[in-house]
């Protein structure tokens, strides 16, 4: 049994709502705003969100690495930078989940250095209880008030489960099953 945190339908509704909020927020921008998806976790969210945004936007992605299994490291590393020029442009960083906040702190500082005029943070899940450094989240899909590990819809457990179309809580039972799958793979 899986405890569903966000169903496919709920995710779809959230994306539609956030897209409207983004449209309103960027309506008066003179330069075309840039949507930057944080890979790989935000890839599913980015695609679903994008289709509901009506304003002209540019899209790009950035890749960082900061997480190993269910344990957090505050060690954020840039794996792939944005290819777009952010100068004088409003940039919306699209993230799957903001947890401790270290990744988002790094990303906002990095995008600021690239010359962005304004930076907005958009997260499908705000794990607010786990925050260690303050980061403002401008567009929030769902606020989690429990510090639990979740997977699905882009979010992974050791690279597994990104393809699951909904988000669920990875409990002990799920964890063992996933570990078995990983163990079998590495034994091959």
Residues recognised as catalytic: 99
Helix, strand, coil in percent for the chain, rounding step 5 = 30, 35, 35
Interface with ligand IMP: number of residues (CB under 6 A)? 19
The least CB distance from residue 95 to Mg ion, in Å, is 6
CA–CA dist 66, 150 (Å, integer): 16
CB of 165 to ligand IMP, least distance (A): 16
- Residue selected from 150, 153, 168, 174 as contacting ligand IMP according to rule CB under 6 A: 150
- Alpha helices by DSSP H, 7-42: 8-26
Q: Measure the CA–CA gap between 48 and 149, rounded to whole angstroms.
A: 22
Measured from the CB atom, the residue of 87 and 135 that comes closer to ligand IMP is 135
Among 33, 45, 48, 103, contact with ligand IMP (rule: CB under 6 A): 103
CB under 5 to 8 A by kind: which of ligand IMP, Mg ion, none does 100 bind? ligand IMP
Report the distance separating Cα 23 and Cα 37, nearest Å. Answer: 17
Q: Does 5 bind ligand IMP (CB under 6 A)?
A: no
Chosen residue from 41, 141, 152, 154 binding Mg ion by CB under 5 A: 41
Please tell me whether residue 18 adopts helix, strand or coil conformation.
helix
Q: Are 119 and 95 in contact (CB under 8 A)?
A: no
Binding-site ranges for Mg ion (CB under 5 A): 41, 96
């Amino acid at each position: 049994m899986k405890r569903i945190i966000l169903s496919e339908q709920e995710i779809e509704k959230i994306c539609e709502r956030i897209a409207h909020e983004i449209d309103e927020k960027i309506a008066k921008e003179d330069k075309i705003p840039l949507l930057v998806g944080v890979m790989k976790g935000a890839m599913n969210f980015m695609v679903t969100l994008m289709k509901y945004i009506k304003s002209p936007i540019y899209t790009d992605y950035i890749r960082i690495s900061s997480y190993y299994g269910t344990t957090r490291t505050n060690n954020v590393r840039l794996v792939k930078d944005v290819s777009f020029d952010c100068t004088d442009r409003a940039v919306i960083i699209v993230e799957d989940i903001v947890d401790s906040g270290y990744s988002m702190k790094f990303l906002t500082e990095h995008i600021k250095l690239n010359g962005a005029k304004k930076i907005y943070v958009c997260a499908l899940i705000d794990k607010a209880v786990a925050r260690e450094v303050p980061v403002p989240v401008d567009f929030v899909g769902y606020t989690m008030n429990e510090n639990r590990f979740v997977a699905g819809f882009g979010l992974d457990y050791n690279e597994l489960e990104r393809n699951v179309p909904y988000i669920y809580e990875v409990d002990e039972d799920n964890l063992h099953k996933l570990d078995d799958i990983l163990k079998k793979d590495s034994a091959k």
